[in-house]
């Protein structure tokens, strides 16, 4: 089956072509991602209205580019998969309308995909992981543990109750005068830092379960920074490195301990070959990754981290998730709606009607 995937839920316009065989590995024929970073640069974040317009303008170019790179035309495509939520609603609508247009014009089957399901199923696309596996989604906008039992069968074990870790990394970078995106910058500074100099809190470790909190960490860092600045009338390079290392160690420890608990809950499912998979930009952090790998090896679980280009927003993951849903007999029609919110443990948007 050759599937066209579309993604436009945040600030990347993406189209991809994927070939899926019944029992073989899926093959990415092309994957085009057009970022919008420059458009939002002066605003301190993604502006929904600007994002929506850019998606509406770029989706057709993106599809054409994906077809060209795969050496195909629409006549070679056999199904269309599109992100139908959750995300910035203007962008999601643009994608859904584009997909409906293609499906109506060609008569191809259409399937709406949950963006988070796309991320959560990526380990199956890249590493052919079997169900059920434990997934830690850790990005700029999300942080949650999921037991992935099937393409439409997820159990959420817990997640952040405030900021996502990537967001915290970005805010910490801002507090220390480092450029955005903050994660890689903070990681680089931390390399020459001493993580023991500042002992930042490990929030919610005293509470049972897998919920996490990261907003207090950045407040603690702000206080430490201001104390140094008041005492020494400025930050040295070493101060900054130590602050970064202390912060990163705290995020690592929280994620590692909560992962330990999530693994324990997941093992109750008695998977034959336990797998811990991670996705999201923060999974690129070597210190955090080592913390997670260590926890996985403690219980003999395989650790899977897809390449970064497939961990961040892309349309290949949407095509892949769409392919699995089609194999389960799922189809959408012109009643498919775009949803700003769509928790992973709920079913398809058409079945739920519109709204939140």
Q: Quick one: tokens of 64?
A: 């054409």
Answer yes or no: are the C-beta atoms of 146 and 159 closer than 8 Å.
no
Q: Quick one: tokens of 63?
A: 């599809």
Answer yes or no: are the C-beta atoms of 19 and 26 closer than 8 Å.
yes
Q: How far is the CB of 103 from ligand ATP (least distance, A)?
A: 25
Binding mask 149-168 for ligand ATP (x = CB under 6 A): -----------------xx-
For ligand ATP, which is the closer residue by CB, 56 or 255? 255
Residue 122 binding: pick among Fe ion, ligand ATP, none (C-beta 5-8 Å cut-off by kind): none
Q: How far is the CB of 220 from ligand ATP (least distance, A)?
A: 18
Binding mask 302-321 for Fe ion (x = CB under 5 A): -----------x--------
CA dist 313 and 209 (Å) reads 28
For ligand ATP, which is the closer residue by CB, 198 or 214? 214
For ligand ATP, which is the closer residue by CB, 90 or 280? 280
Element (H, E) at 293: helix 286-298
Q: Determine if 312 is a binding residue for ligand ATP (CB under 6 A).
A: yes
Answer yes or no: are the C-beta atoms of 138 and 255 closer than 8 Å.
yes
Four-CA torsion 261, 129, 110, 66, nearest 10 degrees: 110
For ligand ATP, which is the closer residue by CB, 242 or 350? 242
- Can you give 229-255 as a three-state secondary structure string? HHHHCCCCHHHHHHHHHHHHHHHHHHH
Q: How far is the CB of 142 from ligand ATP (least distance, A)?
A: 4
Q: Determine if 140 is a binding residue for ligand ATP (CB under 6 A).
A: yes
Phi-psi region of 324 (alpha: psi -120 to 50; beta: other; left: phi over 0): alpha
- Which residue stretch of 200-208, 218-226, 230-238, 282-290 sits at the interface with ligand ATP (rule: CB under 6 A)? 282-290
Tell me which residue has tokens 């600030």.
11
Indicate the burial class of 149 (C-beta count within 10 angstroms; 0-12, 13-18, 19 or more).
middle
Binding mask 19-58 for ligand ATP (x = CB under 6 A): ----------------------------------------
Q: Determine if 189 is a binding residue for ligand ATP (CB under 6 A).
A: no
CA dist 100 and 6 (Å) reads 11
Contacts of 199 (CB under 8 A, 6+ apart): 246
- Which residue stretch of 89-97, 180-188, 264-272, 331-339 sits at the interface with ligand ATP (rule: CB under 6 A)? 180-188
Contacts of 348 (CB under 8 A, 6+ apart): 84, 112, 152, 330, 332
CA dist 63 and 257 (Å) reads 42
Instruction: Give the nearest residue (CB) to Fe ion.
Output: 313
Q: Is residue 232 annotated as involved in ligand binding?
A: no
The gap from C-alpha 295 to its chain's centroid, in whole angstroms, comes to 21
The single residue among 193, 281, 291, 323 that binds ligand ATP, judged by CB under 6 A, is 281
CA dist 340 and 193 (Å) reads 41
Q: Determine if 123 is a binding residue for ligand ATP (CB under 6 A).
A: no
For Fe ion, which is the closer residue by CB, 6 or 178? 6
Binding mask 224-263 for ligand ATP (x = CB under 6 A): ----------------------------------------
Q: Determine if 141 is a binding residue for ligand ATP (CB under 6 A).
A: yes
Q: Determine if 284 is a binding residue for ligand ATP (CB under 6 A).
A: yes
Residues that bind ligand ATP (CB under 6 A): 10, 139-142, 166-167, 169-170, 181-184, 187, 280-282, 284-285, 312-313
Annotated binding site for Fe cation: 115, 119, 313
Q: Which positions touch Fe ion (CB under 5 A)?
A: 313
């Amino acid at each position: 089956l050759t599937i066209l995937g579309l993604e436009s839920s945040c600030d990347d316009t993406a189209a991809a072509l994927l070939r899926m065989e019944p029992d073989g590995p899926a093959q990415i024929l092309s994957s085009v991602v057009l970022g919008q970073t420059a458009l939002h640069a002066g605003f301190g974040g993604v502006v929904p209205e600007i994002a929506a317009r850019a998606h509406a303008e770029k989706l057709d170019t993106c599809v054409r580019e994906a077809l060209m790179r795969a050496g195909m035309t629409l006549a070679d495509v056999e199904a269309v998969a599109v992100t139908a939520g959750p995300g910035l609603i203007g962008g999601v609508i643009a994608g859904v309308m584009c997909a409906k247009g293609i499906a109506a014009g060609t008569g191809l089957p259409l399937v709406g995909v949950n963006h988070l399901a796309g991320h959560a199923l990526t380990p199956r696309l890249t590493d052919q992981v079997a169900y059920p596996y434990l997934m830690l989604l850790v990005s700029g906008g999300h942080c949650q543990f999921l037991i992935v039992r099937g393409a439409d069968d997820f159990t959420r074990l817990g997640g952040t109750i405030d900021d996502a870790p990537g967001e915290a990394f970005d805010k910490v970078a801002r507090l220390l005068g480092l450029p955005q995106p903050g994660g890689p910058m903070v990681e680089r500074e931390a390399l020459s830092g001493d993580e023991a100099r500042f002992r930042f809190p490990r929030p919610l470790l005293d509470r049972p379960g897998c919920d996490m909190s990261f907003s207090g960490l950045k407040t603690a860092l702000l206080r430490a920074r201001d104390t140094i600045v008041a005492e020494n009338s400025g930050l040295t390079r070493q101060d900054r490195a130590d602050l970064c290392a202390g912060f990163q160690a705290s995020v690592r420890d929280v994620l590692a301990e909560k992962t330990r608990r999530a693994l324990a809950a997941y093992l109750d499912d008695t998977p034959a070959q336990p797998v811990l998979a991670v996705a999201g930009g923060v999974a690129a952090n070597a210190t955090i990754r080592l913390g997670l790998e260590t926890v996985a090896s403690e219980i003999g679980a395989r650790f899977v981290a897809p390449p970064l280009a497939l961990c961040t927003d892309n349309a290949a993951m949407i095509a892949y998730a769409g392919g699995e849903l089609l194999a389960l007999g799922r189809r959408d029609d012109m009643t498919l709606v775009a949803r700003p919110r769509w928790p992973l443990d709920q079913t398809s948007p058409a079945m739920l009607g519109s709204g939140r």
